[in-house]
């Protein structure tokens, strides 16, 4: 029987405040249509309610206005508060910058130097722990999140976390001398869409979601 793997539950009372602030930020946007263009989202009016539709990890989500509800499109399922915040932050902060195709590491992100160790423990380590000995499994499992093969390391996939945010997950198999290793790479424009904290949460969420999918596929 497949072992259930889930994202560690971190009890943080700051999430409610962060969600409230994200909703307030959305309410201040005057031109929703332009922000949809900036983020790659679309906007519809359904039963007199304005609905923003965007893709996150290969699933469509909707933000309803003016109540600021965030749910899976066509399912109405509630979304974890951390991911609600991510979705709202991405939409409200998107600048519409075109991808540079310049790939950078985490430590090259603005103000990230002091957080490399934490990021490695929270996002890269779970990726390596779950896929380092079976890197080819990453290629199969990542398809569920829209992943496609990339040319880095021994095995790599690119997953569009959001329309304008490609994330590249890289693995090295290791050998008799070196253990398996991994990294997470970004387009240099990612800071025009997400803050450093958002990037940390996003990559940790992705690593554990992939681990959970791998557990279910056994």
Q: Are residues 108 and 205 both part of a single domain?
A: yes
Q: Are residues 110 and 87 both part of a single domain?
A: no
Amino acid 49: pLDDT: 87
Q: Are residues 121 and 75 both part of a single domain?
A: no
Amino acid 217: pLDDT: 72
Q: Are residues 24 and 109 both part of a single domain?
A: no
Q: In angstroms, rounded to a whole number, what is the distance separating the alpha carbons of residues 42 and 28?
A: 18
Q: Are residues 190 and 115 both part of a single domain?
A: yes
The model's pLDDT over 45-99, given as tens digits with 9 standing for 90+, comes to: 888 889 999 999 999 999 999 888 999 998 767 789 999 999 999 999 999 999 9
Cis, peptide link before residue 66, omega less than 30° from 0: yes
Q: In angstroms, rounded to a whole number, what is the distance separating the alpha carbons of residues 155 and 171?
A: 5
Look at residue 2 and tell me if it is in a domain. Answer: no
Q: Are residues 89 and 111 both part of a single domain?
A: no
Contact present, 60 and 74 (Cβ < 8 Å) = yes
Contact present, 66 and 27 (Cβ < 8 Å) = yes
Q: Are residues 136 and 206 both part of a single domain?
A: yes
Q: Are residues 128 and 58 both part of a single domain?
A: no
- How many CB atoms sit inside 10 A of residue 13's CB? 6
Look at residue 54 and tell me if it is in a domain. Answer: yes
Looking at the structure of the chain, the number of domains it has is 2
Q: Are residues 107 and 211 both part of a single domain?
A: yes
- Where among 69, 93, 117 does a domain terminate? 93
Amino acid 48: pLDDT: 81
Look at residue 98 and tell me if it is in a domain. Answer: no
Q: In angstroms, rounded to a whole number, what is the distance separating the alpha carbons of residues 168 and 148?
A: 9
Q: Quick check: 1 pLDDT over 50?
A: no
Q: Quick check: 44 pLDDT over 80?
A: yes
- Where among 48, 65, 93 does a domain terminate? 93
Mean predicted lDDT score pLDDT of the chain: 91
Look at residue 5 and tell me if it is in a domain. Answer: no
- Where among 40, 60, 93 does a domain terminate? 93
Between 116 and 175, where is the model more confident?
116
Q: Which domain holds residue 177?
A: 103-216
The model's pLDDT over 138-180, given as tens digits with 9 standing for 90+, comes to: 999 999 999 999 999 999 999 999 999 999 999 999 887 889 9
> In the chain, helix, strand, coil percent, each to 5?
40, 25, 35
Q: Are residues 79 and 111 both part of a single domain?
A: no
Reported confidence tier of residue 15, pLDDT bands at 50, 70, 90: confident
Look at residue 58 and tell me if it is in a domain. Answer: yes
Give strand ranges (E) for 95-190.
Answer: 103-105, 148-149, 155-162, 165-172, 181-187
Lowest pLDDT segment from 2-11, 20-29, 65-74, 110-119 = 2-11
Q: Are residues 82 and 107 both part of a single domain?
A: no
């Amino acid at each position: 029987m497949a072992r259930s793997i889930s994202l560690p539950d971190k009890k943080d009372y700051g999430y409610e405040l962060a969600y409230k602030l994200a909703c307030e930020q959305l309410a201040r946007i005057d031109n929703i249509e332009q922000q949809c263009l900036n983020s790659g989202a679309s906007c519809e009016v359904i039963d007199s309610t304005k609905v923003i539709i965007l893709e996150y990890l290969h699933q469509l989500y909707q933000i309803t206005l003016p109540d600021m509800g965030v749910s899976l499109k066509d399912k109405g399922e509630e979304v974890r508060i951390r991911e609600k915040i991510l979705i709202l932050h991405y939409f409200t902060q998107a600048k519409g910058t075109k991808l540079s195709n310049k790939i950078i590491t985490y430590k090259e992100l603005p103000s990230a130097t002091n957080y490399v160790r934490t990021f490695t423990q929270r996002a890269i380590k779970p990726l390596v722990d779950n896929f380092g000995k079976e890197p080819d499994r990453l290629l199969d499992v990542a398809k569920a999140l829209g992943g496609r093969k990339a040319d880095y390391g021994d095995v790599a996939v690119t997953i569009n976390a959001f329309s304008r945010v490609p994330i590249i997950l890289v693995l090295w198999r290791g050998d008799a001398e070196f253990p398996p290793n991994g990294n997470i790479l970004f387009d240099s424009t990612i800071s025009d869409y997400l803050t450093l904290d958002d990037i940390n949460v996003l990559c940790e969420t992705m690593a554990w979601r992939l681990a959970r999918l791998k557990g279910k596929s056994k």
